[in-house]
Amino acid sequence: MADQYVVAVKPSARRTSRAAAEWVAERGPHRRFDSKRLAREWARTASPQGHTLWIQDAHPLDAGPADGYLLARRYRGREPPPGEQASLGD
């Protein structure tokens, strides 16, 4: 299907998410979705507590097979996760 969105699961996502790590172990480092929206939904559902996984578009000059990348970030210390506000006193 020409309109599929191919995601490369990056090492940060594999280290952070059991679901992402299992996908790579069983099927390889790329996953195909029918749309970017579905890829983003998988990133949300694969994000464990205290972590954020997201889809980032590949650079247009990147010659790889991926349209985007699954990446991870972990919030540590006093930095609030996305969607929460910190007080000005913090």
The predicted pLDDT at position 22 comes to 95
Q: Taking the model in full, what pTM does it have? A: 0.76
Give the N- to C-terminal CA distance of the chain in Å, as an integer: 50
- Indicate the DSSP class of residue 2: T
Indicate whether 34 belongs to any domain.
Answer: yes
pLDDT for 1 equals 47
- The answer to the question of residue 49 being in a domain is yes
Residue 58 belongs to what domain range?
5-74
Put the strands of the sheet holding 30-33 in their side by side order.
30-33, 5-9, 68-74, 51-57
Least Cα distance to 21 among 51, 56, 61 occurs for 51
The total of structural domains in the chain comes to: 1
The tens place of each residue's pLDDT in the chain, 90 residues long, gives: 458 999 999 999 999 999 999 999 999 999 999 999 999 999 999 999 888 999 999 999 988 899 999 999 755 655 555 555 555 665
Residue 80 in any domain: the answer is no
